[in-house]
Structure 1
Amino acid sequence: MFALRVAAPLKAAGRLQTSVLTQSVFAKTRVMAPVGTRILSTSQSNQREVTVAPIIEQRKNRPLAPHLTIYQPQLTWYMSLFHRATGGAVAVGFYAGAIAYAVGPMVGYGFDAASVTSLIATVPTAAKIGAKFLIAYPFTFHSFNGIRHLLWDTARGLTLKGVYTTGYTVLGLSTVSAIGLALI
């Protein structure tokens, strides 16, 4: 089918003479199925193509697994979600800052060390401490929770009591260290 679609414009232009024999050879050595079809068999002799539209419609009508809505929220559930969110936030913040620092002066946006320092000097102290805490907490939480996961990789702290103990330890260490970094 694919080969026939490739050969059709050439035939229309008069450059390629296709016969029934060449069409059957093209059909037997087909590499790709037409768009919207799926080949059900891998053998050349009994390939059968099926349109995938009905399959997609059936998938739309399937019930979704209730996964999170049927369980009681637990500390591990929240910490897993927050670990992923803080990892994304730290990555986005790092890359956005690095790109702004590298590209800013070239496009006329004054994002260099001198302009950033002078801007921060005009901000009130309470706002500086709050902003530094908001930047430090995701970083410290993600770091300490990553250490917790490395501890789990050594098969330590995997009991229910150990999971909750390390979870509360991560929350406490994250908060104390973020406050410490914000007050520097």
Structure 2
Amino acid sequence: MASQRIFQLGLRRVAAPSLKMQPAGRMAQRRLAATKHASQSEAAEILAKQRIYRPVSPHLAIYRPQITWYGSVLGRITGLTLSGSLYLFGIAYLIAPYTGWHMETQSMVAAVAAWPAAVKMGVKAFFAFPFFYHCLNGLRHLSWDMGFGFKNQQVIRSGWGVVALSVLGGLYYTFIG
């Protein structure tokens, strides 16, 4: 075994002379850096030449939009909508005693009861659609975390399924619930 190891190390030294033995018996590569002092204009010119050969990331405009894009954007927007509304309500509830606002349950129920039916349905829809989408998309991501549904067709079907079920859930809650 030791003779094989010695033979391998000898071959490595012959094949790659830039590699050097380290104290722990490992090989490490040595690279000698060639540097020279360059003025600002020369440095800018070198950098401009290097940028020509760098790979450029394609812009989103060249791709065909997919349900995964829309799903990701909608998931973030619905999360911000729901959490932002919760934070605003929470802050208003906490500062209500200092500002003279009446945010007790009875006051809020009476205020909402006085709203026209169209306004009530609009507020319900404003919260229902993001709520159902965010919850269902979260279940979709949870299934992905467990390793299910990663094939392209499954991802597309589950994306459109989440959209359809969230529309149905939002409409049900807005008009019937």
TM range (shorter): 0.5 to 0.7
Question: Could you tell me how far apart the structure 2 residues matched to 1:88 and 1:107 are?
Answer: 26
Question: Could you tell me how far apart the structure 2 residues matched to 1:115 and 1:66 are?
Answer: 55
In structure 1, the gaps of 5 or more residues are 1-53
The CA deviation string for residues 64-100 of structure 1, in whole angstroms up to 9 with x for no partner, is 8453222111111111111011111111111111221
Distance 1:66 1:107, change over 3 A: farther
On the 8 A contact 1:105/1:112 being kept in 2, the answer is: no
Question: Could you tell me how far apart the structure 2 residues matched to 1:174 and 1:90 are?
Answer: 15
Question: Could you tell me how far apart the structure 1 residues matched to 2:59 and 2:148 are?
Answer: 27
Please say if 1:181 is aligned against 2:153.
no
Q: 2:90 aligns with which of 95, 98, 105?
A: 98
2:113 aligns with 121
Q: Aligned AA for 1:180?
A: Y
Matched ranges for 1:27-176 at <5 A:
65-176=57-168
The CA deviation string for residues 105-135 of structure 1, in whole angstroms up to 9 with x for no partner, is 3221223322221221111112211210111
Distance 1:112 1:68, change over 3 A: farther
Percent identity for Structure 1 against Structure 2: 36
The CA deviation string for residues 128-155 of structure 1, in whole angstroms up to 9 with x for no partner, is 1121011111111011001000111122
Question: Could you tell me how far apart the structure 2 residues matched to 1:82 and 1:153 are?
Answer: 19
In structure 2, the gaps of 5 or more residues are 1-42
Distance 1:68 1:112, change over 3 A: farther
Return the offset for 1:161: 0.9
Q: Secondary structure at the match of 1:69?
A: helix
Indicate the structure whose relative CO is greater, using CA pairs within 8 Å and at least 6 residues apart.
2
Question: Could you tell me how far apart the structure 2 residues matched to 1:82 and 1:170 are?
Answer: 11
Q: Aligned AA for 2:155?
A: V
Question: Could you tell me how far apart the structure 2 residues matched to 1:84 and 1:94 are?
Answer: 15
TM-score w.r.t. the length of structure 2 is: 0.64
